[in-house]
Structure 1
Amino acid sequence: MEQEHFFQCPYCWEEISMILDSSVRQQTYIEDCEVCCNPIEISPTFEEAALIGFNAQSIEQ
């Protein structure tokens, strides 16, 4: 099951959205910001298809 989630990009601070797959309980992956194209590490957590945790952070140290 897919759902759209809105959040702020950790690079350009613009509000963006991504489609999240709630069929996988916990996941981490890299996706580019649709505004500034920088890579963001996305870590959503689901419980019974409900989003219970979400983290979006830059991959630069």
Structure 2
Amino acid sequence: MKNMIGRTIQCPHCGHHVPVNFDTSLGSEEFYDDCPACCNPIHFNVNVDEQRNDVEIYVDADDEQYF
């Protein structure tokens, strides 16, 4: 599996297309990064499945409120 993969995602806040690179050598991870257009935080959840040689990337605004 390649260690670095690049994708273009859409900001869940403003819809701006953002190019991002992920280092899959670290395994699965969850992190936040700010949109360069609207400066709102984007929540990334990267799941690396080494057995199937697959990477799943989930992007959301992470602004849901739980009561």
TM surpasses 0.5: yes
Q: 2 CA distance for matches of 1:44 and 1:5?
A: 12
- Indicate how the Cα distance of structure 1 residues 51 and 20 shifts in structure 2: closer, same or farther if over 3 A, else same: farther
Give the TM-score taking structure 2 as reference length: 0.74
Higher relative contact order (CA 8 A, sep 6+): 1
| Residue correspondence of structure 1 range 10-49 to structure 2 within 5 A | 10-48=12-50
Tell me how far 1:47 sits from its aligned partner: 3.2
Q: Which has the larger radius of gyration?
A: 2
Aligned to 1:60: 63
Give the TM-score taking structure 1 as reference length: 0.79
Tell me how far 1:51 sits from its aligned partner: 4.9
SS at match of 1:23: helix
Deviating beyond 6 angstroms after TM superposition, the runs of 4 or more aligned structure 1 residues are none
Consecutive unaligned residues in structure 1, runs of 5 or more: none
Compute the RMSD of aligned alpha carbons.
1.6
Work out the percentage of aligned pairs sharing the same amino acid: 23
